[in-house]
Amino acid sequence: MGKISRVVSNQWMQICVVVLVAVVVRWSVSLNPYSGAGKPPMFGDYEAQRHWMEVTTNLPIGQWYTNGTGNNLEYWGLDYPPLTAYHSWICGKVSSFLNADWVELDSSHGYESYEHKLFMRYSVLAIDVLLYIPAVLLFCWFESSKKIFSFDWLRVAMIILLYPGLIVIDHGHFQYNNASLGFALLATIALSTNHDLWGSILFVLALNYKQMELYHAMPFFCYLLGRCFWGSDENRIWKLIKIGLVVVVSFLICWLPFLTSVESVLQVLHRLFPFARGLYEDKVANVWCSIEPIIRTRERLSQDVVIKIALASTLLALLPSAIHLLFKPTIRCFRLALINSSLAFFLFSFQVHEKSILLVTLPVCLLLQEKPFECTWFLLTSVLSMFPLLIKDGQFLSTTVLCLLFLMASNVLLNSQKLKKTIHIQIIFWLSMLGMSILCISHLLVPPPARYPDIYPLLISAYSCAHFLVFFVYCHYLQFTSVAD
C-alpha cells in the first residue's frame, strides 16, 4: 500500500512540474511586446480586447454590437460571439475595480501602462490555468489506456503545452484562443467517453466564444448524427432529439440578451461574419493567397463571385471526410475529421486570418502520440505560417527559442521508436526545416526588392501552404484507411 501511495504521490509531483513549466514558459513570453504596442491610432489586438472590456462595462448590453455614441464600430467593434462579450464584461468589471481609467469610456482608447499590461497578461494566463491546461491533462490521461501508473501521458501533455504557436499568439501577440480551444478539447473528451450531451454543450460554448470554431462543426455534427443512425442504442430517435434540444437550449441561453428583436440578432450576425473585409487579410498560408500573384482573383472577379467560389471549394474539400465520418462514426475517424475539416476551411474558405491555423493545430496535437514525427513537422510549419505577424509584434526571439525547445522536447519525450523514419524521409524533413530557416532569416536580414515589398511574407505563405496541402491529403488517407476506434 505504501508503494502505491509513493507512486501516486510521485505522479502528482510530475503533474505539478508539467503545469509549472507550462506556466513559466507562458509568463516568460508575456514579458515581450504585444500586438500594436505604442502604435496609434488603432494599436492592435491588445487594444481590441481592452476596448471590448471598455464597451461591455460602460454600455447597455443591447448596444454592444451596434454603432452609436460611445461605440464606434470602426474602432475595434466587437466581432466575436456573445460568450466572448460576457468574458470581456467580467474582465472589464475587474479592470474597473482595480483602476477605472483602464476602461473609461472613450478616454481610455490606447491605454498603456505596466500595471494594465500585468492585468491583461494575467487574464490570459487565468484561462490557461483554469481551462486549457486542465483540458490537455485530462485528454492525455484518458488517452493513456487508463493506466494511472503510466507516465507516458504526461510526456504527451508536456509537448502539447509547449506548442509554440498558441503560446506566442495568446501570451505574446495577445488573444484568448485558449478559451475556445479549451472548450473544444473538453467537448472532444466528452464524446470520447460517450458523454454526447455534455460534448454538445461544450462545443456550443466553444462556438459561442469564437465563430471560427465552425472549422470543427461538421465533424461534431456528422459524428453525433452517425452515432444516432448507426449506434447500438435502442432509442436512437430519442437520442437525436435530446442532442438537438440540448444544442438549441444552449444556444438560446448564450444568445438570450440579444433575442429582443430580429434586428438585434441580425446585427450580431453581421458583426460575426464581415464579408466586406475581403477574401483574406494580410498574407495567409492558404490556397487563395498562394495563387493570387498568378491568377489575380480579387482583381478579375467580383466579391460575390469570389465568395461563391470559396464556398464551393470549401464544401468540395470538406464533404469526403464528412460523409466518411457520417457512415463510420468512430472516435479515431472523428479526430482525423477534425483535422481535415479545419484544414479545408483554412485552405479554401473566404475571409481567413493567419491565426486561424490554431484551429487546425488543436486536433493535430491530439494525434501527437500516434504520429509524433508528422505532427511535430506540421506544428512547426504552422508557426512558420504566422512568422510575418510575429515579427511585427517583436516576437522573433521568443518564437525561435520556443520552436527549438518544442523540437528538442518532442525528440526527447516522445517514443524514440515512433520518431524513427527512413533516411529518405529524414532528409526531406531537414530540407524542409532548412527552407523554413532560410525564409525566416531572409525576411529578417535581406531587404526585399522595391518592386515586391511583400515577397517574403508571400513566399512564407506559399511554402507553408504547400506543406499543409500534403498534410491534408495524408490525413484523409489516415481517415479513409482507419480501422481502429
Domain boundaries of the chain, sorted by first residue: 2-31+113-480
pLDDT digits (tens), the chain, 485 positions = 555 566 556 778 888 999 999 999 999 999 999 998 888 888 889 999 999 999 999 999 999 999 988 889 989 999 999 999 999 999 999 999 999 999 999 899 999 999 999 999 999 999 999 999 999 999 998 887 655 445 578 889 999 999 999 999 999 999 999 999 999 999 999 999 999 999 999 999 999 999 999 999 999 999 999 998 887 666 788 889 999 999 999 999 999 999 999 999 999 999 998 766 666 666 788 998 888 888 887 778 787 888 889 999 999 999 999 999 999 999 999 999 999 999 999 999 988 889 999 999 999 999 998 899 999 999 999 999 999 999 999 899 999 999 999 999 988 877 644 555 678 788 899 999 999 999 999 999 999 998 888 899 999 999 999 999 999 999 999 999 987 55
> What is the distance of C-alpha 172 from the center of its chain?
15
Task: Answer whether 140's CB lies under 8 Å from 160's CB.
Answer: yes
Q: Which residues pair with 280 in a beta bridge?
A: 352
pTM of the predicted model over 0.75: yes
Calculate the dihedral angle through the C-alpha atoms of 455, 355, 56, 134, rounding to the nearest 10 degrees: -150
Distance (Å, rounded) from C-alpha 49 to C-alpha 453? 30
Task: Output the CA angle 284-475-191, nearest 5 degrees.
Answer: 100
Which run of H or of E encompasses 22? Answer: helix 2-30
| C-alpha to C-alpha distances, 451 to 125, 292, 293, nearest whole angstrom | 43, 16, 13
Distance CA 296, CA 291 (A): 8
